[in-house]
């Protein structure tokens, strides 16, 4: 697949646009969050920082937040942001320009 952040592919003879999102969490409990990490793997999410992941999806940011919030504990925070064409990082766990 192309490394462009808006990948296009054919699905039932119509184009579907995959958007690149960053999912950032404040995980405030003393827990492993294994179920959250397992759910993120189903999206093929890549870790960017300790509690931040990048993933491609056809879902909206709001839909992703609603899906992932069920794997958080009371008081934890989540922010889902669509990433634009311009992005940069230093010493991130994955290179955002390659996603």
**52 or 99, which is more confident?**
52
pLDDT per residue over 26-71, tens digit each?
999 998 899 999 999 999 999 999 999 999 999 999 999 999 999 9
pLDDT value at position 71? 97
Hey, what domains does the chain have and what are their CATH numbers?
A: 7-98 (3.30.70.240)
pTM: 0.82
Dihedral sign, Cα of residue 65, residue 93, residue 75, residue 79: negative
What span, in angstroms and rounded, lies between the C-alpha atoms of 28 and 21?
A: 22
């Amino acid at each position: 697949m192309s490394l462009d952040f808006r990948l296009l592919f054919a699905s039932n003879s119509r184009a579907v646009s995959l958007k690149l999102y960053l999912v950032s969490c404040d995980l405030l409990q003393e827990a492993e969050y294994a179920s959250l990490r397992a759910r993120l793997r189903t999206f093929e999410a890549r870790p960017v920082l300790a509690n931040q992941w990048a993933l491609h999806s056809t879902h909206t940011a709001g839909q992703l937040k609603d899906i992932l919030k069920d794997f958080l504990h009371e008081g934890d925070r989540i922010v889902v942001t669509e990433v634009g064409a311009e992005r940069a990082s230093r010493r991130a766990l994955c290179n955002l320009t390659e996603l």
